[in-house]
Each structure stands twice: as structure tokens, then as C-alpha cells.
Amino acid sequence: MSPSTRKTWQLLIRRLHLYIGLLVAPFIVVAAATGLLYALTPQLENQLYRSALQAESVPGAQAQLLSAQVQAALQSLPTPAAVVAVRPAPDARSSTRVMVADAALGPSEYRSLFVNPYTLALQGDLTVYGTSGVLPLRKQLDLLHRQLLMGEWGRTYSELAASWLWVAALGGVALWWLSRPQRAGAQVTHPPLRRWHHGLGLWLLVGLLFLSATGLTWSRWAGGHFGQALQQMGWQTPRLNTSLDTANHGTHAHQHAADPHADHAEHQTAPMAPADRLPMPEDFGTALAIARQHGLASAKLEIRPPAAANKAWTVTEINRSWPTEVDALAVDLANGQVLDHKRFSDYPLASKLTRWGIDLHMGSWGVLNQAVLVLLGAGIVAMAVTGWLQWRKRPGRSREWLHGQLTLVHQWRQLPRVSALALLLVAVALGWLLPVLGCSLLALLALDAWIYLRRSPQATKR
């Protein structure tokens, strides 16, 4: 690479980095700060909801049958309610969760009754959210992180942050590399802020790329492209077949495209009991016993009754920590037959990587995972602040901002023709794969072109 071309690339990347720092970084900072808070939710919830989550055992007492626990939860309600799911107590000091439908609640919201397995006392009554049954605090932090509590369109902000985070990270590394001295033994002394900014970027690079990639997998538009690609390549997550009609015809379960973000809040309708009979409390105990007999050994399980008359019961492992335990069974309780058994060990590699990536992004792998996420969130905020302070301290920053020869358009025109064409094709491809990145890039280029035309020599002569 010739010195002039190297300088052109350096100026082009610096300009793009400046745009990201001033116009996109605020969204990245919000996503990092809210994600940092979300990573701390397990400890916060354990304290905030301690009376509901923890069950004090009576010395020498044995846990009651699961059917008795479900019955106790239902008897605590003033009116009958349909059971949506039951999560048996995962250990000797935890309560059992019985989730029921409530017409007064919103989409994907359920009423969770926390029962002491030993005394059958009701210890808590909370509204939980989504297919993963998250508690109120985590629900609010989850929605804040993903959509700023603004509904589906609010997800654009987090997709914008995830779309540009990797560009900012790689662009910063490229700037650091291009600004290194070319002569052997030469040294350049940078101001402390710049050294901090560069150091943080290099140390956090892998984590930043990981957060960006995993965040995009369940984003609204880029995540849709990701799911379609998995489906076309046959790498989609297997979905449990719960059809009793399929079982009666002797066919096997098929694979379907599954949402990789099923752990987060998605709009699900509450399952309805079959028309011929309501699920009885003892049915949950029977389903649990069958699941244990067929190898579902995780301490964390969820039992769901049929969603319709022609559907089966499901028992699913919900342990997202390492080692991952997410096997699932579909059971016909009428004859005790297991209709389908999905094992995580049989998932396609892409599905496993998606599962692990999401769980790591959410801090599900334990305290060390949470600590890394907190450090990454704090590091992103620190990088944004140090970058902004650098720009504030730079003399003539206003003139530099409006200097036509420093714009992206001008630097792109100085590149060799092959490089300029390749850059254009890459930008178009990325814009299609990551629609929010593409639309926001067009907006940046419109601003950049206005500055270029406003300050260009041709515009001055006019």
C-alpha cells in the first residue's frame, strides 16, 4: 500500500469513526448501560423476591408430592384458573412455581404462584413474562435494554447499536494500526486519553464483536435474515413435535425454524386446556415421573399441559448455564407414550452456537459470565466518554467537522478505482444483510455529501 493510499484509508476510517462516536455512540452507551444492569438481575432478584423464591424447609420434613403443590396453588385463587406451566423446585431451598393464565394481564404475561414444597404455603404471587417466565424486575430491564420500553419499534435502537458496534470496534483497531510509525524504532507519544481509548478498544475487541454478533441474531430485521439463512441451510433449532394426530399416524417429528430469542419476551398465547378434560394436579406429577424415566435429569424443569385437544404435554429442561441442559419431551399422558424427544446433543452445531451465544449474552453461565458482561458494559461507556473527550479537546474541531476534504465522499474518491468499487460493494452487501446499518449509513452519507458539496471548491466558486 502506497503512503498516499494508506493516508486516504486512515482519513476515511477516522471520519467514519467520528460519525459513529458523535451520532451512534449514544445509542451504544444506552444499550451497554442497560445491558450491564440486566447482567446483575440474578443477584438483585434473589434479594428483591427472596420471600417468594426461597422456601424454608421444616427440619426432617420431606417435600410434598408435586400434585399437592399444584393443588395448593390453585386453592389459593379466588376463582378457577388454567395452569400454563409448572416449574418444580430445583433444590431443597427453592419454591415451586405454578403459572396460571389471567385475563386481566397483558400478552405473554402470566400469574406465578410460589408454593413452599414442604408446607404447601403460598409464598408469593407475581406477574411473570414471556416463555421463560422472567420476574418483574428482569422484565423491565429486558424491555429497557431491547426497546427502551417503546414497543416493537423501539427495538430499532438496540439493532442500531449492535449493527454499528462491530464497525466502531474494527474501525478503531484499523486506525490504531494505520497510525503506527512506519520507520523502525520510531515512537509516537499519545495523550493519556488516546492511550486509554486505544487500550480499552484492543483489550475489549473480542467481547465487543461477540456482543454485536449475538445481539444481531435476535434483532428485528438482521435477526430475520439470520433465521432465514439457518433455515435454508438446514441448521435451524429443532422444535418439539407435540401433535397427537402425528403420533396416531405413526410419523415422526419434523424440524422447524425456531426463534433463537425464545428466552426473551415474545408474544405467546396462553395454552388452553383440552375440551374433554382439564389438566388435573396429579397429571403434572405423572408427566414429571415420565420425564425422569426418559433421561431428563436437570434440576430445572418446566411442565406444560396441552395447548389444544390434539396436543401433547411437554417437559423441558430450562437450565441455560454450563453445561447446557435444554432437552425436551412430548408426552401423551393418556397412554404414557413419549411422542418426541429432542436432545441438545443432537442439535446442529449452528443451533448450539446460537443457544450458547444467547446464553452468554444474557449472563446465564454464572457469576464469571456476569462479571465479564459488567466489565464489557463499563468498558464501552468508558470508551465512548474518552473518545468524546478527545474530540472536545481537539483544536479546530468545528472546522474539521465542516471541512469538505475530510469527508467520506472526498476520501472515497481518492481511493484507487478497484478499492473504491470494492468498498462500495461491501457497503451495499452489509446494508442488505443489516438493514438498520444500511439505512443509517445512507443517512450518514447524505449528511457527509451535504458537507462535501457545501465546502467543496466547486461549490465555493459558485
- The domain spans of the chain are 3-39+155-181+189-225+364-461, 52-147, 238-362
For residue 414, pLDDT beyond 60: yes
Integer CA distances (angstroms), 191 to 188, 320, 336, 414, 440, in order: 10, 44, 71, 30, 32
What would the pLDDT profile of 210-241 be if each residue is shown by its tens digit? 999 999 998 999 998 888 888 888 888 899 99
At residue 425 the predicted structure's pLDDT band, cuts being 50, 70 and 90, is very high
How is residue 65 written as a grid cell? 408430592
- 284 touches 313 (CB < 8 A): no
pLDDT value of residue 233: 87
CA–CA dist 36, 390 (Å, integer): 25
Which of 389, 394, 169 minimizes the C-alpha distance to 403? Answer: 394
Q: Which of 255-264, 289-298, 328-337 is predicted with the least confidence, judged by mean pLDDT? A: 255-264
Q: According to the model, what pLDDT value does residue 378 have?
A: 98
pLDDT at position 247 is 53
Percent of the chain with pLDDT over 90: 74
The SS3 of residue 351 is helix
The rounded distance, in Å, linking the Cα atoms of 176 and 164 is: 18
Amino acid at 256: H
Residue with more model confidence, 446 or 61: 446
pLDDT tens digits for range 348-390: 998 999 999 999 999 999 999 999 999 999 999 999 999 999 9
**Closest-CA residue to 339 (of 410, 253, 405):** 253
Cell (9 digits) for 260: 433463537
Model confidence at 343: pLDDT above 80:
yes
Rounded CA-CA distance 84/132 in Å is 12
What is d(CA 369, CA 211) in angstroms, rounded to the nearest whole number? 13
Phi-psi region of 130 (alpha: psi -120 to 50; beta: other; left: phi over 0): left
Please, which residues have CB within 8 angstroms of residue 290's CB and are 6 or more apart in sequence?
315, 329, 331, 333, 336, 338
Higher pLDDT, 187 or 126: 126
- Which of the four pLDDT bands, split at 50, 70 and 90, describes residue 456? low
Please answer whether residues 55 and 152 qualify as being in contact, where contact means their C-beta atoms are separated by less than 8 angstroms. no
DSSP β-ladder status, 313-317 and 328-332: antiparallel
Mean pLDDT, the chain, whole residue set: 89
Model pLDDT for residues 133-187, shown as the tens digit of each residue? 899 999 999 999 999 999 889 999 999 999 999 999 999 999 999 987 765 555 6
Predicted confidence at residue 274, as pLDDT, reads: 45
pLDDT at 182: 66
Which helix (H) or strand (E) covers residue 413, if one does? Answer: helix 408-414
CA distance 312 to 287: 10
Measured on CA atoms in the order 202, 207, 210, 211, is the torsion positive or negative?
negative
Residue burial 71-93, b: 16+ Cβ < 10 Å; e: rest: bbbbeeeeeebebbbbbbbbeee
In the three-class reduction of DSSP (H, G, I as helix; E, B as strand; rest coil), residue 245 is classed as helix
Report how far residue 274's alpha carbon sits from residue 276's, in angstroms, rounded to the nearest whole number: 6
How much is the pLDDT for 1? 72
